[in-house]
Chain A
Amino acid sequence: MKILTRIARFVWNQKLVTLSIIILVAVVASALLVHLIAPFDPYAQDLVLRNKPPLTPAPGGGIHLLGTDPLGRDELARLMLGSQISLSVSVASVVISGLFGTTVGLIAGYYRNWFDDIMMRLVDLQMSVPSLLIALLVLYVLGPSFVNIVLVLAVTRWMVYARVSRGLMLALREELFVEAARSLGASNFRIIVRHLLPNLAAPILVLATLELAVMMLTEASLSFLGLGIQPPESSWGLMLAEGREYLTSAPWLVAVPGIAILLTTLSVNIIATWFRARTASTSAVRGGEEKITSEVEI
């Protein structure tokens, strides 16, 4: 019962966060269970029912809650199918870029040697070129596929983690508890893994949640521009692109995936902000949190 009251208090105090969690859980659930819970087959076409507005009754019973697309497919079912790709692309690319970038920043910031110099110049170099441009170029050459998109997204964003983790590392390595560990005879590996990484985890996790939204939007842009997910697969960005032609006659085709992107990224951001506020008090690095927000704005 104690847990229930705690949950109730959390819901009451953090209404926005609760709502965000609910939205996110709904999105994840619909991605995982499309074929079980979708009201219609997302691939079933019916040209008679082209571009029907929301709440149109279906001839076979039921209602097309969010209308239908130009091929007469149920928009809600398409949205759920699209969330699969949108979510998996963004999560996978965040994990890859986060692991790679953090490792680079960790090593660069700890040793501050030639590796640091090379990597940070590389980061500067990449920061000076718009990442979407690089992504477009690479995808144009390699051809769009799920794996390529994930890799390209990861490659365009790794430096964010590298910079943040290096910056945190520069502050952390001067902490006395690192010197204490060294005087106890701890190896560099032990110091990094046992002492520094745990202090890095919270800010990096916050950054990752923010990046999740960035990745989702970038994937949407790529798909919108035609170099992302290809039909008949679907992602929210692609749905947006496909609906653009019918903007005047069937505006819900753009509004539905657009609102989905908006709500999901907003939810992620709200949860990230809440998490950041919660962990800031136990952080070993003062000012580390500010660093992250400024990094993301770049």
Chain B
Amino acid sequence: MTDNLLEVEGLVREFAVRGRHQNVKAVDDVSFTIARGEALGLVGESGSGKSTTARCVLRLIEPTSGTVRLNGVDITSLRGRELREFRAKAQLVFQDPYSSLNPRMRVEEIIAEGIRIHRPRVKDAEVRDEIVALLEVVGLRPDHLTRKPAAFSGGERQRIGIARALAVNPELLVCDEPVASLDVSIQAQILNLFQDLKARLGLTLLYIAHDLATVRHLCDRVAVMEQGQIREIGTRDQLYNDPQAAYTKALMAAVPRPDPIEERRKLAARRAALTGATP
């Protein structure tokens, strides 16, 4: 518990739903920590509260209650300059690489924005050098700078989004299903990029996904969410080899295996369970 970069405690976020008396708890008493340099995977099905948790951690939406501490500082009450300084420490990579890039801006402007906001006195030439270096880190070419997002593929756009997040030198990178909308072949490239970044820059990752395979590839520890609550949290090997919670087991069972015989057996077992249940 000595060097935790992020500590989330008792996080709750409610949403008012029209026509319903009670608020819906999208995030219901979630607590976890991430050590510096660690990658925590947050897994769960759609609507389980993963993205809401991420946005509360980044203060893009306000949590109803609970605390989020980055470097021991509670960020839920930050205002003005302090909030702006926090913005440079934690960044977000989006799921949708299309709507997350402004179609009217050139790549250069998109990536430079964080530098312009947090270090407004840096000269243009230096900003450019930094951006070129960033492009290299994420695997893009300098001649991409003057183009607009429309000229790029999904994978390239995601790289631009990652470069934009890295431009402010964040300590924590929150990735909200960053590969979910990419082709499988591109997914692997982006995942490797994250792994590379983690090793090279010592980044701490909160990696959100709904499939277990990508998480296993990248994360040191994994938390499983269901209906706004964390069902299970543990190291990767613990969770994958010996899942405890019923929901985790169900998730594991849903992972397709590259073995047709095994798959057929599983399908038969599921069918048998179904017919057995009907009277």
Contacts and interface: CB of A to CB of B under 8 A. Distances in A.
Which of A181, A184, A284 is most buried by chain B, counting CB atoms within 10 A of its CB?
A: A184
A139 B269 CA distance: 83
Given A180-B92, A180-B164, A185 B104 contact: no
Contacts of B88: 185
A185 B86 CA distance: 8
Interface in B86-136: 87-88, 90-92, 94, 96, 99-105, 113-114, 117-118
Contact of B94 (A176, A184, A186, A195): A176
A282 B60 contact: no
A15 interface: no
A198 interface: yes
Contact of B114 (A184, A195, A198): A184
A195 B105 CA distance: 8
A273 interface: no
Nearest to B88: A185
Which of A176, A181, A282 is most buried by chain B, counting CB atoms within 10 A of its CB?
A: A176
Nearest to B93: A180
A184 B102 contact: no
A179 B96 CA distance: 12
A56 to B, nearest CB: 56
B146 to A, nearest CB: 16
B251 to A, nearest CB: 27
A177 interface: yes
B100 A180 contact: yes
B91 A183 contact: yes
B58 interface: yes
A193 B150 CA distance: 21
Contacts of A175: 99, 102
Interface string A180-223: 11111110001000110011000000000000000000000000
B63 interface: no
A284 B60 contact: no
A284 B87 contact: no
A183 B60 contact: yes
A284 B96 contact: no
A181 B112 CA distance: 11
Contact of B96 (A176, A184, A186, A194): A176
A186 B104 contact: no
Interface residues of B, number: 26
B209 interface: no
B161 interface: yes
B114 A179 contact: no
Which of B87, B104, B118 is most buried by chain A, counting CB atoms within 10 A of its CB?
A: B104
A17 B192 CA distance: 51
Given A179-B60, A180-B161, A180-B164, A185 B117 contact: yes
A197 to B, nearest CB: 9
Interface string B50-72: 00000000101000000000000
B84 A180 contact: no
Contacts of A282: 103-104, 150
B168 interface: yes
B104 A184 contact: no
Nearest to A177: B102
Contacts of A184: 87, 91, 113-114, 117, 164, 168
Contacts of A179: 60, 92, 94, 100
Contacts of B168: 184-185
Nearest to B114: A184
A284 B113 contact: no
Nearest to B103: A284
Contacts of B117: 184-186, 190
Interface string B128-168: 00000000000000000000001000000000010010001
Contacts of B60: 179, 182-183
Contacts of B113: 181, 184, 186, 194
Interface string B76-92: 00000001100110111
A183 B104 contact: no
Contacts of A198: 102, 104-105
A176 B93 CA distance: 10
Contacts of B96: 176
Contacts of B164: 180, 184
A62 B168 CA distance: 73
B110 to A, nearest CB: 8
B103 A199 contact: yes
Nearest to A201: B104
> What 8 A-B pairs are tightest by C-beta distance, nearest first?
A185-B87, A176-B100, A198-B104, A177-B102, A176-B99, A185-B84, A184-B114, A183-B92
Interface of A: 175-177, 179-186, 190, 194-195, 198-199, 282-284
Given A177-B100, A185-B88, 19 more contacts: A179-B92, A179-B94, A179-B100, A180-B92, A180-B101, A180-B164, A183-B91, A184-B164, A185-B87, A185-B118, A185-B168, A186-B113, A190-B117, A198-B105, A199-B103, A199-B104, A282-B150, A283-B103, A284-B104
